[in-house]
């Protein structure tokens, strides 16, 4: 007690505070209920009554679990039991509530134990978050739709790759071979002069270079080795061919890679390798790239590190780099993760983790083959 403060003054202050808190309780825009330790409402403010459509008397006749669907009520009651047992003194929960007309609303429930009274009571505060949850649901649906569209785009891309690769292999390469053979016959014919032979030799060399370039392009578009030999030989062969073509040192190593990898996972990792090496050759100026393929329990991993000029990954994404976006989309469809670490003049590392035992949803499978 403060000096010169009389007991009657304290009672007056307590009465004033009680009236003030009661006014706040009644006027609060947030739904508030005072419950006993059995979960039975004692007092309910107008905001909560308006929120659920019940009168205060009707709400007093109900138990706290009566306001929600069984699965939501069970979560709430489990926490309430912990509160009663003294293990916790408060908790928060997003749950659904039945309105009087049996429609549902989402509420953010905050429960606190008021234990400094002759009889402990529980104060429950409910905020209507229905619009927030609806917006979240719409966002999730939009993201799911966008992912399906991304899958279809990748599917169309893969189909076009296969089509072009077949055209190159079955048509253009065959015609080049006929052209090369015709030039060779002319150059080696008895009627060919030395001057004509001298002129045809560089043409034959150019045709051979074009044929090799088309073969490499066909392999990049659609790797037959990936289908026939598997991921590790296909990656090793591609790294060797890429290094020779671009005069870059590419070291490939693998260890403990499961044989039962699905074709979806294999194709995703192969495409990421192709895009990463292409970016390193075009943009980083790297003379050396290190590629490591491995696995951990339930996960296959791919790490690609170069010693080039580096870049800002966030800026590259915002700039609309389709290569990086495509890699993220492919990995995301397989529930994997991709981490890109890069700094100017230091180099770049791309690390991929993809679950082995969790293939994509059935409507996404065709997007990856």
Residue 53: CB partners within 8 Å, gap ≥ 6? 99, 100, 101
Instruction: Summarize pLDDT for 128-158 with one digit per residue, the tens.
Output: 999 999 888 888 777 666 666 665 666 666 6
Q: Give helix then strand counts, H and E, for the chain.
A: 12, 10
Q: Which tokens belong to 114?
A: 């008021």
Instruction: Summarize pLDDT for 110-120 with one digit per residue, the tens.
Output: 999 988 667 88
Domains in the chain with CATH codes:
7-128 (3.30.450.20), 224-369 (3.30.565.10)
Q: Which tokens belong to 126?
A: 């409910």
Q: 78-87, 213-222, 271-280, 353-362 — which one is most confidently predicted on average?
A: 78-87
Over range 43-68, report the average pLDDT: 92
For the chain, the average pLDDT equals 80
Over range 60-84, report the average pLDDT: 93
Instruction: Summarize pLDDT for 207-243 with one digit per residue, the tens.
Output: 877 877 777 676 666 666 777 788 898 899 889 988 9
Are 128 and 107 contacting, i.e. CB atoms less than 8 angstroms apart?
yes
Residue 366: DSSP 8-state: G
Q: Which tokens belong to 16?
A: 């004033």
What span, in angstroms and rounded, lies between the C-alpha atoms of 331 and 364?
12
- What pTM was computed for the model? 0.50
More confident residue, 362 or 319: 319
Residue 94: DSSP 8-state: E
**Cβ of 360: how many Cβ atoms within 10 Å?**
20
Long-range contacts of 222-230 (CB under 8 A, 24+ apart): 222/161, 222/162, 222/165, 222/166, 223/270, 226/266, 226/267, 226/270, 227/263, 230/259, 230/261, 230/266
Read off the pLDDT band of 15 (50, 70, 90): low
Q: Which tokens belong to 116?
A: 């400094």
Are 55 and 17 contacting, i.e. CB atoms less than 8 angstroms apart?
no
CA dihedral 31, 32, 36, 42 (to 10 degrees): -90
Over range 58-81, report the average pLDDT: 93
Q: Which tokens belong to 291?
A: 């590629």
At which residue do the structure tokens 């905050």 appear? 110
């Amino acid at each position: 007690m403060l000096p010169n403060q009389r007991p009657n003054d304290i009672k007056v202050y307590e009465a004033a505070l009680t009236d003030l808190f009661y006014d706040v309780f009644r006027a609060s825009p947030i739904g508030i209920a005072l419950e006993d330790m059995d979960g039975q409402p004692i007092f309910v403010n107008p905001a909560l009554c308006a929120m659920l459509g019940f009168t205060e008397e009707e709400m007093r006749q109900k138990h706290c679990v009566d306001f929600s669907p069984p699965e939501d009520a069970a979560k709430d009651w489990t926490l309430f039991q912990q509160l009663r047992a003294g293990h916790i003194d408060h908790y928060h929960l997003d749950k659904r509530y039945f309105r009087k007309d049996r429609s549902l609303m989402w509420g953010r429930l905050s429960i606190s134990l008021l234990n400094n009274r002759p009889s402990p009571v529980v104060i429950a505060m409910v905020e209507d978050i229905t619009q927030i949850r609806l917006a979240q649901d719409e966002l999730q649906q939009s993201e799911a739709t966008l992912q399906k569209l991304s899958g279809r785009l990748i599917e169309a891309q893969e189909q076009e790759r296969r089509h072009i690769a077949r055209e190159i292999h079955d048509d253009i390469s065959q015609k080049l071979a006929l052209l090369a053979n015709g030039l060779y016959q002319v150059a080696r014919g008895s009627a060919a002069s030395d001057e004509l032979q001298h002129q045809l030799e560089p043409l034959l060399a150019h045709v051979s270079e074009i044929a090799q370039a088309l073969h490499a392009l066909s392999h990049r578009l659609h790797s037959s080795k990936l289908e026939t030999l598997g991921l590790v030989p296909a990656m090793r062969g591609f790294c060797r061919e890429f290094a020779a073509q671009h005069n870059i040192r590419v070291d490939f190593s693998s260890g403990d890679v499961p044989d039962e990898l699905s074709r979806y996972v294999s194709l995703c990792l192969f495409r990421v390798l192709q895009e990463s090496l292409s970016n390193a050759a075009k943009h980083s100026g790297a003379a050396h790239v290190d590629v490591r393929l491995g696995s951990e329990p339930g996960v296959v991993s791919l790490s690609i590190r170069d010693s080039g000029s580096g870049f800002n990954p966030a800026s590259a994404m915002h700039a609309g780099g389709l290569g990086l976006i495509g890699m993220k989309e492919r990995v995301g469809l397989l529930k994997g993760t991709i981490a890109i670490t890069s700094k100017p003049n230091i180099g770049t590392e791309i690390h991929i983790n993809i679950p082995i035992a969790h293939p994509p949803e059935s409507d996404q499978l065709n997007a990856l083959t």
